[in-house]
Amino acid sequence: MQDTPLATSLGLANRRIVLGVTGGIAAYKSAELIRRLKDLGADVRAVMTPAAQEFITPLTLQALSGNPVHTTLLDTEAEAAMGHIELARWGDLILVAPASADFLARMAHGHGNDLLTTLCLAARCPLAVAPAMNQAMWACRSNQDNVALLQERGVTLFGPAAGEQACGDVGPGRMLEPTELAQLTAGLFPRQILTGARVTITAGPTREAIDPVRYISNHSSGKMGFALAEAARDAGAQVTLISGPVNLATPDRIKRIDVVSALDMYEASMSALKQTDIFIATAAVADFRVENSQNQKIKKQDNSGSMTLTLVENPDIVASVAKHSPKPFTVGFAAETQDAENYARQKIVRKGLDMIVANDVSRQDIGFNSDQNAVTVIWKNGQQPIELASKAQIARDLVTLIAKRFREQDKKSG
Ligand code: C5P
């Protein structure tokens, strides 16, 4: 259900960019650059030199990036929030745009006299610079020597472009346009099998309230769904994980939405569809909920000896997703105790799935609370077993299969 072509969208999904902004008239374009980087899926933190703040305010960059802007090295409060070493480690790339002649000189000669140069010294990630300056400054020997030195050390140079300059000169020295810079930045990262895809995964059990203290649920641990979320993220996808109540930490760089009941999970899944190319339903959704769950704790009736609860059917989330138009590539799970393959094939048709992952939960060594699993992946014209392995390994193999089938379908429909 893409609203943008996959090949060009989200090339920076899950990527963290530290955007350094130095003093120059092109600093106003940094605002636009943040938007373009975010459009491609990046998380951006801006770092501004004092000179940059003469051209554009930190508030503007903060509003656009959605993150605090970093301006000073020697500020105890800022250091307590995110220290400069931590910030250097946070980034997958430091991009300095615009990079002034003064900044390039300081960077080339190992200065650490402001936050941005210190970050460049401390960073273990790649560095890229987009110079912006007057054409004579760009051409001058000392600047050219500094740029050559930086390139020799592996710093990537974006531009500069030639053309009319703010000062009226014409020649090389203009900063590249934000759209081009964002695309070049995405090009620094290798494309992966799910780069550009938005994946939504349901995981864990649901809880159906009887009253405020009691509920009906199941033994699902959520481990398979969480492992799949990590595998999809590692394959380049932007992942939303809709989780029932589980005891698992949120994996890094994954958007987690916590839900309790099947109805909550249904609502969250339907809302996520606008931004979903692939939907994977690993959740063990309760098939029924209590018709009249009570707002007050139900008291034991003396000597009654029994109690009756009326259950009503919950919506089938994955089947509803598969009915939605346009439909994401939809993957379901089938936990069976016998004849798993046969039941799974029926489920593909009944629920309108593109793929189903069948596992035999009668086996003691795999399934619900185990760290291991063994499954058979089934689709319309084929199937493939994945032998007993850790859930993390199964998840990686599953993501490879899902990506392959998804790309094939995407090609056909596109
Ligand atoms: O019908 P059954 O529960 O065996 O189907 C399992 C598959 O359907 C799983 O992918 C599960 O996440 C999904 N499911 C769902 N909503 C339900 C019940 C099951 O999405 N109410």
CATH number at residue 164: 3.40.50.1950
Instruction: State the pLDDT at residue 5.
Output: 43
- Please indicate, yes or no, whether residues 63 and 158 belong to a single structural domain of this protein: yes
The answer to whether position 111 is within a domain reads yes
* Angstrom distance (rounded) from CA 112 to CA 120: 8
Distance from the CA of 334 to the center of ligand 1, in angstroms? 7
Bridge partners (DSSP) of residue 47 are 20, 70
Q: Ligand 1, atom 2: nearest CA belongs to which residue?
A: 334
The answer to whether position 341 is within a domain reads yes
Question: Quick check: 391 and 371 in contact, CB under 8 A?
Answer: yes
Cα atoms in the 13 Å half-sphere on the side-chain side of 147 = 21
CATH number for the domain spanning 343: value is 3.40.50.10300
Distance from the CA of 224 to the center of ligand 1, in angstroms? 14
In the residue annotation, 167 being an active-site residue is answered as yes
Distance from the CA of 333 to the center of ligand 1, in angstroms? 7
Distance from the CA of 319 to the center of ligand 1, in angstroms? 8
Number of domains in the chain: 2
Q: Is 348 in the pocket of ligand 1 (CB under 6 A)?
A: no
- Please indicate, yes or no, whether residues 94 and 169 belong to a single structural domain of this protein: yes
* Angstrom distance (rounded) from CA 154 to CA 329: 40
Instruction: State the pLDDT at residue 414.
Output: 60
Q: What is the pLDDT along the chain (414 residues), one digit of tens a residue?
A: 444 445 447 899 999 999 999 999 999 999 999 999 999 999 999 999 999 999 999 999 999 999 999 998 877 777 777 788 889 999 999 999 999 999 999 999 999 999 999 999 999 999 999 999 999 999 999 999 999 999 999 999 999 999 887 888 888 999 999 999 999 999 999 999 999 899 999 999 999 999 999 999 999 999 999 999 999 999 999 999 999 999 999 999 999 999 999 999 999 999 999 999 999 999 999 999 999 888 888 887 766 788 889 999 999 999 999 999 989 999 999 988 788 888 899 999 999 999 999 987 777 777 666 788 889 999 988 999 999 899 899 999 999 999 999 998 877 776
- Please indicate, yes or no, whether residues 247 and 181 belong to a single structural domain of this protein: no
- Please indicate, yes or no, whether residues 27 and 153 belong to a single structural domain of this protein: yes
- Please indicate, yes or no, whether residues 231 and 169 belong to a single structural domain of this protein: no
Q: Ligand 1, atom 9: nearest CA belongs to which residue?
A: 333
- Please indicate, yes or no, whether residues 298 and 409 belong to a single structural domain of this protein: yes
Instruction: State the pLDDT at residue 101.
Output: 97
Which atom of ligand 1 lies nearest, measured to the CA of 314? 21
The answer to whether position 193 is within a domain reads no
Pocket test for ligand 1, best of 318, 356, 359, 360 (most atoms within 8 A of CB): 318
- Please indicate, yes or no, whether residues 41 and 183 belong to a single structural domain of this protein: yes
Instruction: State the pLDDT at residue 2.
Output: 43
The answer to whether position 353 is within a domain reads yes
- Domain final residue, candidates 165, 187, 209: 187
- Domain final residue, candidates 137, 155, 187: 187
* Angstrom distance (rounded) from CA 66 to CA 48: 15
Average pLDDT, the chain: 92
Question: Quick check: 361 and 336 in contact, CB under 8 A?
Answer: yes
Q: Is 316 in the pocket of ligand 1 (CB under 6 A)?
A: yes
The answer to whether position 192 is within a domain reads no
Q: Is 340 in the pocket of ligand 1 (CB under 6 A)?
A: no
Q: Is 265 in the pocket of ligand 1 (CB under 6 A)?
A: no
The answer to whether position 394 is within a domain reads yes
Pocket test for ligand 1, best of 243, 273, 280, 316 (most atoms within 8 A of CB): 316
- Please indicate, yes or no, whether residues 396 and 340 belong to a single structural domain of this protein: yes
pLDDT tens by residue, 326-380: 899 999 999 887 888 888 999 999 999 999 999 877 777 776 667 888 899 999 8
- Please indicate, yes or no, whether residues 151 and 23 belong to a single structural domain of this protein: yes
Catalytic residue among 120, 125, 140, 167: 167
Q: Model's pTM, two decimal places?
A: 0.88
Domain that includes residue 375, residue range: 198-413
Q: Is 332 in the pocket of ligand 1 (CB under 6 A)?
A: yes
pLDDT tens by residue, 151-209: 999 999 999 999 887 888 888 999 999 999 999 999 999 999 999 899 999 999 999 99
The answer to whether position 2 is within a domain reads no
- Domain final residue, candidates 187, 222, 251: 187
Question: Quick check: 62 and 81 in contact, CB under 8 A?
Answer: no
The answer to whether position 245 is within a domain reads yes
Q: Is 358 in the pocket of ligand 1 (CB under 6 A)?
A: no
- Please indicate, yes or no, whether residues 65 and 127 belong to a single structural domain of this protein: yes
| Burial state string for 157-175 with b = 16 or more CB within 10 A and e = fewer than 16 | ebbbeeeebeeeeeeebbb
Which atom of ligand 1 lies nearest, measured to the CA of 321? 20
- Please indicate, yes or no, whether residues 264 and 344 belong to a single structural domain of this protein: yes
Measured in whole angstroms, the distance separating CA 243 from the mean position of its chain's CA atoms is: 16
Distance from the CA of 366 to the center of ligand 1, in angstroms? 19
- Please indicate, yes or no, whether residues 318 and 404 belong to a single structural domain of this protein: yes
